[in-house]
Structure 1
Amino acid sequence: MSFISDAILRGVTGAFVTNAGVGKIGMPAEYSAGVQQAAASGIPALAKLPSDKFGTWLGYAETVIGASLLAPFVPNKVAGAALTAFSGGLLSMYFRNPENTEADGIRPSQEGIGLAKDVFMTAIGLALVTQGKKN
């Protein structure tokens, strides 16, 4: 991939993910518990974490992933792998909740539109991981 396409894929996605992460850091305990409940619907092991701290921990994780995309010294494969893992977790929430999809289990319902868009982050992460360039 070229420098320009790398900058577009990494810059836009990195800014989006970083902003989402920063917005979660220090969230009130009741909101944190709600975010944790939603996340645990896709990844049940997350229910075992302290609910009052979950939102802040998620915010830090998102911020680190976003920053890795923005930092040019982080290899594309590393940043792409982090983004793919993160967005894969979001898509697991989408597919494990029947209310998020139409009857076919694929197309998003009105409730699932917000998570369905995360397929774009998965595609960007996979593009970064699989490109032929060494960085």
Structure 2
Amino acid sequence: MRIFARPHQFPPRLAAAAIILSSGLDKTGADDEAAVGLHGMAAGTYPFLGRVDPADFTRLLSRAEIALGTALLLPFVPSLLAGAALTGFAGGLLGLYLKTPGMRREGSLRPSEQGLAISKDIWLLGIGLGLVLEELGHR
């Protein structure tokens, strides 16, 4: 088995993997009320998701988070691939932050109390972009 991650990439990959994998595992047991809430927030920002059943959406989101978290944990998954997937995922989360009413203080990028938890996902974007840029620089 070939290792595609350099030793200094393990800490940020592990940090991101831990939170994403935990989130995905938590969603595996989501009840209907939780699924409707998750789906409603996502569909409010990304209207095309409105066509997806809330339970199906939550199940797919859970599986995607588990897959991404696992990919970040496994050193034989290339950092470019893991970083690109993480960047896309984090971009979607930040889209929720930027487009959902009440997440930011009026006229500002600074988070409101409700938006603080999602605004913190900027670190996921930083890790993903860092992995991607480093790998592109080594080619």
TM value normalised by structure 1: 0.91
In 2, Cα distance between equivalents of 1:21 and 1:71: 17
Shift in Å, 1:5:
2.2
Shift in Å, 1:85:
0.7
Q: Pairwise CA RMSD of aligned residues?
A: 1.5
**Which residue is equivalent to 2:98?**
95
Is 1:49 the counterpart of 2:52? The answer is: yes
Is 1:110 the counterpart of 2:107? The answer is: no
The answer as to whether partners of 1:87 and 1:121 remain within 8 angstroms in 2 is yes
In 1, Cα distance between equivalents of 2:96 and 2:108: 13
**Which residue is equivalent to 1:63?**
66
In 2, Cα distance between equivalents of 1:49 and 1:62: 18
Q: Which runs of 4+ in 1 moved over 6 A?
A: none
Q: CA 1:101 to 1:13, structure 2 compared with 1: closer, same or farther past 3 Å? A: same
Shift in Å, 1:26:
3.3
Of the structure 1 ranges 88-97 and 24-33, higher mean CA displacement relative to structure 2 is found in 24-33
Corresponding letter in the other structure for 2:75: P
Residue correspondence of structure 1 range 1-135 to structure 2 within 5 A = 3-131=6-134, 132-133=137-138
Shift in Å, 1:31:
1.1
The answer as to whether partners of 1:82 and 1:125 remain within 8 angstroms in 2 is yes
In 1, Cα distance between equivalents of 2:121 and 2:95: 10
TM value normalised by structure 2: 0.89
In 1, Cα distance between equivalents of 2:45 and 2:125: 16
In 2, Cα distance between equivalents of 1:14 and 1:109: 26
